[in-house]
Every structure is written in C-alpha cells, then in structure tokens.
Amino acid sequence: MGGLRTKWWLSGIVACALLALTGAGAGAAEKELKIGYMKHDIQDASVAIMERWAARQGIKITKVPMAYNVFMEKITATLTSGGDQFDLIWHNDDWGQLWKKWLEPTDDIPGMKSVAREPVVGSFLNDEGKTTVVPMVHTVGTFFYRTDLLKESEVPKTLAELVTVSKRLQEQGKVRWGYVGGMKMNHTWFTLWWSMWSNNCDIFYPIFERNNDVLAKNGWKPAIADPCHREVVEYWWDAMNAHKISPKAMPSYGRDEANAIFMAGDAAFTLVDSTHFGSFNDPKKSKIAGKVGMAKFPMGPRRTKPFSWNEIWGWAIPKGVPAERKALAKQALQAMLTDEAGQIEMWKTTGGPPPSMPVWGKIAAVDPVFNKLKEVVFDQEHATHAAYYFEKWPAVHKAYSDVAIKALTGSREEIPKVLSDGVKLIHDAAVN
C-alpha cells in the first residue's frame, strides 16, 4: 500500500505540473499589443508613453515600424481584409476618410474630452458621426530660420522677400541655399502647398472649401490652372532655376533630404512640421543646434494675413481586432492621453504639441519656445485644413503631384499648358 500511495503522490505532482504548463499557463499568458506605425521621433515618443504604462501592467508591446511611403497601402490592405495584424495603428488626416468604415470608434476613451475637437471633426469622423482617432500630437507646418544669420525682424514676411534675403545670404557666403523643403509626392506641404495657401489659392474651387457636398456641387473644379496657382509654381521654378536660392533637385526631395540640408547648415530657411524641432536642436544630429527660430509663413502677393494649419496625427484601432484586445488598446490610449508628464517630455524632446489641451497651459507657463510656436502658428488664421477629406483624396494627391512635378521640371514657358492639361487629370481622380 505504501508503494501505491507513493505512485498516487507522484502522479499528483505530474498532473499539477502538466496543468501549470497547459491550462493554468494559458490563463496566465502575457498580454500583448501590436502597434503599426512610422519610424518617427514623435511616434516613438508617443509609443514610449504607452510602453511605460504597459510595463507597469505586465503587458508586452510589439512595435512594427514601416516606411512612410508604404505605410498607407500596407495598412489599407490589412484593414480591408478585416485582419487583426495590428491592435493600434498610426492614423493621419490624409487618409481619415479612406479608413473610417474599418476603425473602432474612440469617443468612449477617457481623456478624449481634453483634446481639441476641430482637427478631429475635420477628417476623422465616420458616417455615424463618431470619432475614429485618438490624437497623439498636433502636426503643424512651421517656418524655421537660422537665428545665427538673421534677427527676427529680418525674417522674410513675403515670398518676394524670401528671394531677396536668400540671395543676400548666399552672396555673403553664409549659406549655400536660401530655402530648402520637401516637394515630392507626400511631401508637397513643405513647398508648393504652404505657398499656395499663402497666396490665397487651393487645389479645388471654392478656395479653402472642405465641405464635400459643396465641392461636389461645384463639380470638383480644380484651381491649379488659375493665376493664383500658376504664380506659385512659377515662383518655385524661378527659385530653383533663375534665382537659384533652392536646389534644382528639390522636386525629388522628401522632408528627410530637406531636413538634412538644413541641419548641415547649408540653408537659411525651411518649412516642415514642428515635430522636427527636436532634431534640429540635437547636437548629435544637427550642426545648427541652438540656432533655430520659428516665424510666420511668408505671404504671396494675393494674401494680407499669414496662413497656418493645425492638424493632428493620431492612433486608431482596427475593427477586426478581437474585443479583449480592443479594450486593452483603449486602455493604452487612455494612459497616453492622461500622462501629462509624458506629454510634456514629448514636447521637450521633439517639439510636438501634445494632444491634451490642459497640458498646453502648463507648458506655456514655463516655455518661451512653445509660446513662440503658438504665436506663429496657432494664433494665425487657419483658413482651411491641410488636405481634402474624402475617399479619393490619395488619388487626387498623386495626380496633383504628377502635374506639379512635370511643370517644375520642364521649361518655364510650358508651365501654363502643363497646369491646364492637368485640370482633367485631377478632376477625374476626384470623381472616378
């Protein structure tokens, strides 16, 4: 009997061990969130806030960074297939309406009441009027200049002055280029578009209209062949070819190429999202660290007030994600929105204005750089949003970019014809 009892005792130990490795072990499996995003300082900073929360909760975060040029296509394919490859994805206003039907509403996340509504309602609502994004940062174009070259009073206030001042600095041997900025597809904001809006122009008529019903009623009529837009294209053609204040290769530049030239000290001016301010002032990355100022956008001849835009980058949750992981993703986003110390640190390291409005007040009370950004961007007239918000927008953007680059890389005399020929291409992209 003693041997039998020993066998029973040993069998019990084995059974307990198996239970620990199977049923009990499965119940204690580590929870995980997979995040698909673009490798970018501001997104890294936002993810870092969620990682700190996850570490406290015993949750694993798996990061899947992707290149900007493939991100939208890859995530769109995942969403339309109903897949759950990612629990959280970076969400941009450019494709807010493209993804709306495949995203989980986020209005129920605590902390959403603290965000600015205007950048959200402009592009991130679904057909039921529910929000499909949680902001991570305000992404605002910012005109940067070299404070070691110019006093604030000397910064160009018009496009014409941008040429004059750039030429003077070049002639004095202080810089190789006056202005450098991204120009190719998906980087159009940093040359053509900020100057287009600053010349009271737009891609479609009515100018600055973003109501899709109004745009459709007007027949999605492109404005690119009109004088206000032709003047802008001719301006950049002259900047590269006649005045030579910008590199001739700029039509092939994205923000990274332009930023590299600016940070190397080879250009006096650039315009890019404020979220790059941290890199500009990082001595490990930039030769001009500590010598970068912010100013209002130079204006074209058709405008009397400086223009600026105020949009957001955010996070979204795919509808295909299982309910348990959706709930976990919402907890992570709640933690990001309510971590005021993390948002303040994000601002300090990147120059990205955080999503929570109460945090803005705390930063403004102690940080003159934030107040300068507020003065030159947030306090200016936001006459329109920095994109159009309908499902065909990516195709329209591509058509516009093709037309503009063709005009800029051909002869100056051909610019009016290229723009006129492009009207149909852009119109068709909007309606077909």
Peptide bond into 298 cis (omega under 30): no
Pairing of strands 292-295, 311-316: unpaired
Q: What is the predicted pLDDT for the residue at 287?
A: 98
At residue 388, what is the residue type? Y
CA distance readout (Å), 31 to 27, 78, 320, 358, 416: 10, 22, 18, 32, 59
Q: What is the predicted pLDDT for the residue at 6?
A: 38
Note the helical H segments in 264-339: 277-280, 323-338
Is the Cβ–Cβ distance between 99 and 79 less than 8 Å?
A: yes
Q: What is the predicted pLDDT for the residue at 9?
A: 40
Report which DSSP code applies to 85. Answer: S
Q: What is the 3-state secondary structure (H, E, C) of 207-250?
A: CCCCCHHHHHHCCCCECCCCHHHHHHHHHHHHHHHCCCCCCCCH
Domains and CATH numbers, the chain: 31-139+310-378 (3.40.190.10), 141-307+392-431 (3.40.190.10)
| pTM, 2 dp | 0.89
**pLDDT 10s per residue in the chain (432 long)?**
444 333 334 344 434 433 343 444 444 568 999 999 999 999 999 999 999 999 999 999 999 999 988 998 999 999 999 888 999 999 998 888 889 999 999 999 999 999 999 899 888 999 999 999 999 999 999 999 999 999 999 999 999 999 999 999 999 999 999 999 999 999 999 999 999 999 999 999 999 999 999 999 999 999 999 999 999 999 999 999 999 999 999 999 999 999 999 999 999 999 999 999 999 999 999 999 999 999 999 999 999 999 999 999 999 999 999 999 999 999 999 999 999 999 999 999 999 999 999 999 999 999 999 999 999 999 999 999 999 999 899 999 999 999 999 999 999 999 999 999 999 999 999 999
